[in-house]
Structure 1
Amino acid sequence: GVGPATLAKLEGIGVRTIRDLAVLDVGVVCSTVGDAHGRHLHALSQGIDDRFVEPERIAKSIGHEETFSADLTTHDELRTQLVRLCDAVARRTREAGVAAGTLMLKLKFSSFESVTRSVTPSIPLTTGPSMVAALEPLLASLDCSQGVRLLGVHAQKLTTESGAAPRLFDEGGDSPQDIEEQWQPASKAVDSIVSKFGAGTIGPASGLDTRRPGENPFGPLSEDE
């Protein structure tokens, strides 16, 4: 594309389409918009472009948020929604071939006050349960008695996905790193099922809640950058 000033100059010599530009002599274009810019635009109109193709950039963040039809006030209610959100975010990080270096928790209270909290696990995460393990302490530290209207989970500082390094002895711990390692095989199996039968065919049982559905009946809304 060109800026408004260049566009006005090109229109002044009758250029309104790529074809108009292509049939003009390059000297006319250069005298109108400058030598370097004119040669570049004229070459593009001929389908000539020696710039390198840039690979698709990695998204800055992958997130999901849910606005509730009624305020949530208990930890159990909020944890149920946290599980759903983490599952959705984790699945999309795996689809993109990336892992979450940092996780951000977002809450909006009934007063419309918003707060965010972030955590950086010892390893990048790709599974829902490991993300829940990383974010649940942050959720537990907040006073939600006034009522939470919106809950969001965002994966940030995304890196190329790499599996948790296997350890010689399985300690069966409950840290985000331990849970990431334990759940990676199951998560890949879930991805295969979703790929074959579609989203919504399988998900975490602890994320089911029919009492207080969000405004979106099809699941949490995505929020990417």
Structure 2
Amino acid sequence: MRPHASVLHIDLDAFFASVEQRDKPSLRGKPVIVGGVGGRGVVATCSYEARVFGVRSAMSTREARAKCPHAAFLTGRFGAYQEASRAVMELLRSVSPLVEPLSLDEAFVDLAAADLPAYDVESLTSFGHELRARVKEVTGGLTASVGLGTSKFIAKVASDLDKPDGLVIVAPGTEQELLRPMSVTVIPGVGPATAERLRRAGVQTIAELEAVSEDELVSQVGSAHGHSLWHLARALDSRPVVAERETKSVSVEGTYEDDLTDRKVMESLLTRQAGHVAERLRKHGLSGRTVSIKVRLYDFTTLSRSATLPSPTDSSATIARIARTLLADLDTTGGVRLLGVGVSGLADWVQDDLFGATEEETPEDDIPQLESRYGRGWWPGQDVVHAEMGRGWVWGSGKGVVTVRFETAETGPGPVRSYAADDPALGHYSSEVTPDET
């Protein structure tokens, strides 16, 4: 264990939804749900106002609509999320050379590699408050929850204790005192199935888990999971913060509050991510030959698989189909906390007829991407611009009509107007965001 609480975990609060509320003033303080808006869609994230009604990430959109029908359901704008993430990661790298991004909205930072004058609780508290203020400044108002501890596990637990916009520092030597009253579900990888298995064995808290022998845990939940649980129940975690090497690719990934165990949900999330990757490829006139997936398991083990096509593609359905096939080769029974899809081997041409899917093969959540490519599709949350009214976003569309609320982060709540879907004065709007180099 480290002698100081020098591992920092930062988590941007309700990231996608917060970016939407930042850029759409009329949604501030209201329930916002970002994800697939169709019947087979999945919630990527939701605002805290929506969570009050029981909405959670990885929940089906159908269930979310039943729980919170008055929420704003938006498809999401990856360019805006990427821009905010880049600002935060650049800030973190200015603090320490050892930054380990876990997703767009989450990272570990090794403060032992930073130039801090002291590591006592008072100094770290001052540093944490300053860092959160700087995050808010560089992102235009987004908040982050920060935890500091002697290990990755403790820092992650700490960042979850005072959400949103919180700061918790776990002083060295107090880790087990903090953990013992907590539910075993705070341990990465203890999802509903494992928690139920432990409950049947009379284990519901970390204190109760601590009393179980390592051999018994292995017999209960398997070798890898059992050893991991035994160590983490005692706050033993020696994993270093590892800065990831940058490589040129276009990728999308997401981290989920509850470990995913349902393969159909994982496949749906990969399908949606593949749609975002394909949209960004097409936006920049690119295609790629190598499709890869990134899977971070319950114990923070990161797995990746890839497949290379004979010729490059930018097809949503093709990328999604390969991603789902790659997932099928992985053992995810312990739970998954992060999923990502990427395309590399970039080129500025594509040979669609070899690898493109038919319209019938295209999942529902890819429809907006196909509309963006082959026609003027409109979907909730999309940025638009009108020749007279200026910038706004799509409130809703259907039956040849698109309804737009004209507002930006700078203007405050704006008026709502409806137009014919083919009105020449109305067009798509997007700020220039270059492809990922992560």
Query: Smaller-chain TM-score range?
Result: 0.5 to 0.7
Deviation track 1:76-124 (CA, whole Å, cap 9, x = no partner) reads 0100110111011010000010002111100000100001101112331
Q: Does 1:89 align with 2:267?
A: no
- Give the C-alpha shift of residue 180 in structure 1: 7.3
Conserved 8 A contact 1:65-1:223: no
- Give the C-alpha shift of residue 162 in structure 1: 2.4
Counterparts of 1:185-224 in structure 2 under 5 Å?
187-191=369-373, 192-193=376-377, 198=382, 224=436
Which structure has more helix as a fraction of its residues? Answer: 1
Unaligned segments of structure 1, at least 5 residues: 1-58, 167-176, 203-221
Counterparts of 1:138-157 in structure 2 under 5 Å?
138-157=326-345
**Equivalences, count:** 138
Aligned to 1:146, what secondary structure does the other structure show? coil
Letter in 2 for 1:120: T
Instruction: Pick the aligned partner of 1:74 from 262, 266, 278.
Output: 262
Letter in 1 for 2:296: K
- Corresponding residue for 1:205? none
Q: Does 1:126 align with 2:338?
A: no
Aligned to 1:85, what secondary structure does the other structure show? helix
Cα distance in 2, alignment partners of residues 147 and 186 from structure 1? 30
- Give the C-alpha shift of residue 74 in structure 1: 2.0
Q: TM-score w.r.t. structure 1 length?
A: 0.53
**Which structure carries more relative contact order (alpha carbon 8 Å, separation 6+)?**
1
- Corresponding residue for 1:116? 304
- Corresponding residue for 1:179? 357
Cα distance in 1, alignment partners of residues 291 and 337 from structure 2? 20
Which structure has more strand as a fraction of its residues? Answer: 2
Conserved 8 A contact 2:288-2:344: yes
Q: TM-score w.r.t. structure 2 length?
A: 0.28
Q: Which has the larger radius of gyration?
A: 1
Counterparts of 1:25-64 in structure 2 under 5 Å?
60-64=248-252
Cα distance in 1, alignment partners of residues 304 and 435 from structure 2? 15
Which runs of at least 4 in structure 1 moved beyond 4 Å after TM superposition? 180-183, 185-188, 199-202
Aligned to 1:149, what secondary structure does the other structure show? strand
Unaligned segments of structure 2, at least 5 residues: 1-246, 384-392, 397-433
State the Cα RMSD in Å.
3.4
Q: 1:154 to 1:71 in 2, by over 3 A?
A: same
Aligned to 1:157, what secondary structure does the other structure show? strand
Cα distance in 1, alignment partners of residues 435 and 258 from structure 2? 21
Query: What is the percent sequence identity of the aligned residues?
Result: 27
